[in-house]
Amino acid sequence: MHKLGRGQRDKVQQFIAITGASEKVALQALKASDWHLEGAFDVFYSHPQFKSLTDSRHLEELYKRYKGKKGKHRDVVLPYQVKNQYVDMILADGITLLCNDLQVDPQDIVTLVISWHMKAATMCEFSKQEFFGGLQALGIDTLEKFHERIPFFRSELKDEQKFREIYNFAFGWAKEKGQKSLALDTAIGMWQLLFAEKQWPLVDQWCQFLQARHNKAISRDTWSQLLEFARTVEPSLSNYDAQGAWPYLIDEFVEYLTENGMIR
């Protein structure tokens, strides 16, 4: 490694610290990504040849530690078939235990990123297939490896494309089963969580507007279009196009800001 520049050596050390990979693998991944650190993470985690193979026995031990814990369904009388289904799932209490093991707050946005990797259908639930599939894709079969990935999960939120995917995933993940829309309180909580990372200056005004003027569930179209609005329209609204194809709720939000003198 003595032939590398100082910046390259620093990247190798960062890569090893986050992934737990060997120096040889770190060099391969960084060279494959033209020495872009984020790209090297993508190479490492998306190509099996860079990852150690997961041990199914270790995965089974992890799964058994968290599955079948009572969760949000504990006080509900359920049919036998449904109860049996939940016995084989990781529910809210199991996920809380997992977060404790990972030294992560259950309300931390990292739990959303983990759920995105597992392609979880519902908040506070992991099926065995989701749990195994997600961890195998990440090359994780122990708590130690899981904990080592936490910095990588955080780094993914800084990637524009991945943030968009995580944002859009959050709508289906957070809504109640069988519902097409997302409950307003849940949507507000998710926006505050997501835009704390994206740092959209108007998120508080948006949430205030919804509570004052809307007070209804949020559609998928509004959810997805708000990210585009936050990404492309200046907080001063100087480049806002009133003739644009924004959902009516966003147009009403602009009117609300104007009427209340909230525009800088």
State the amino acid at position 93 in one-letter form.
D
The answer to whether the pTM exceeds 0.95 is: no
In this structure, which topology does domain 6-50 adopt according to CATH? Helicase, Ruva Protein; domain 3 (1.10.8)
Compute the radius of gyration of the chain from its Cα atoms.
21
What count of residues does the chain have? Answer: 264
Evaluate whether 169 touches 36 at the Cβ level (below 8 Å).
Answer: no
Sign of the four-CA dihedral 174, 98, 66, 120? positive
Domain chopping of the chain, boundaries? 6-50, 56-158, 179-260
pLDDT, position 136: 85
- Of 89-93, 162-166, 183-187, 240-244, give the lowest mean pLDDT range: 240-244
65 three-class SS: helix
Residue 4: predicted pLDDT: 86
60-84 per-residue burial string, b: 16 or more CB within 10 A, e: under 16: eebbeebbebebebeeeeeeeeeee
The answer regarding whether domain 56-158 maps to CATH 1.10.238.10 reads yes
**Distance between CA atoms of residues 197 and 204, nearest Å:** 14
What class, spelled out in words, does domain 179-260 have in CATH? mainly alpha
pLDDT-based confidence at residue 48 (cuts at 50, 70, 90): low
